A and B are shown apart, each in its own frame.
Chain A
Amino acid sequence: MRSKFYKYCSVIHASMKVEAQYRVNIFFNIFAGIIRIIFAYSLWSTIYSTRSVVNGYTFKMMISYYLIVLAIGMIDKTEFMANSISNEGQQGGFSKYLLMPVNVKNYFFATSIGKSIISGFIIVLGVVVLKILYPIEILSCGYRTRVKALVLITFGILVMRELHYVIGILTLKYFNSSVFMMIKENILLLLVGGLVPLNVFPDGVQAIMKIFPFYYMVYYPSHILITDQVESWIFAVVTLAIWYVIFHLLSGIITKKVIGMGYGGIGL
């Protein structure tokens, strides 16, 4: 058990080193994040110029929402799993992971954790800078709510891990992967609340969204952090847990079918 732990720690360490190697890219990625905040600020400052509250959110809450969404997006690097598996599969390099004395899913997840840790440092740095420049309270909720949000974010990342692994494995066999990745990226961004808080959608649409895990991955934790309303937290945890189990079982079956039986290992 301990040796396994150390094994994945080495993978995380190596991934962090690789991520930190291209510092200019980190710098540009920070700017890309800032642009998303500029977008939110410009759009919502125009909307809030004629009203003080939109869907229960004040302007400050709305900007806080986008900042939290950005931070969660930076922490969750599981998308790397799907992209890497897909790229390696296309180039015929995926076979080497099957020969390694590691679990393929855990290996890619450990790599994504390495990337998340570097992003975590950037977020901490960003929060410190923001506190110095604009001493505003981004989170006005209590510590209990923060812990509850953290639990949801962690669960969300675990569900995403399973989902991205399933997608990655499927691209080895069935899809024109780059195209499929782009479609997935576009749709997921909307579904998790990355573009706009999900409470702007009609109640009927929200009711459908609440059945799926995406609602609770980014939007819901951000929402409870800025409103301190945690009424349906247990329901959120249970929904995420159920979807985690579903995706976990699915990933096992698909891995067996794709890698165990039909994977040629020579790329596309």
Chain B
Amino acid sequence: MTISVALPHALTPYASGSSTLSVDDKCSTVADALAAVAAQWPAVTDRILTEQGALRRHVNVFVGDESIRFMDGLATAVPHGATITVVPAVSGG
């Protein structure tokens, strides 16, 4: 089984049109999984993380149904076969 990373529509142009990316099941944390995404689709992670590697303020990332902000942040563990979902926060003006 692999880990899936589900992208919002706004990020699919930076992943060759794909809305779901597959990364190596050996990734043990969200940070590992995003690093694996960056290796192939760096423009995707540019938009999820700042250049300092922090999660952007108005981006939410879920492992399963739980936001990593309420878990261990980017160090949140990713179970085998899990889905990581990237979602724009409900914000704007």
Is the A/B pair a real complex? no
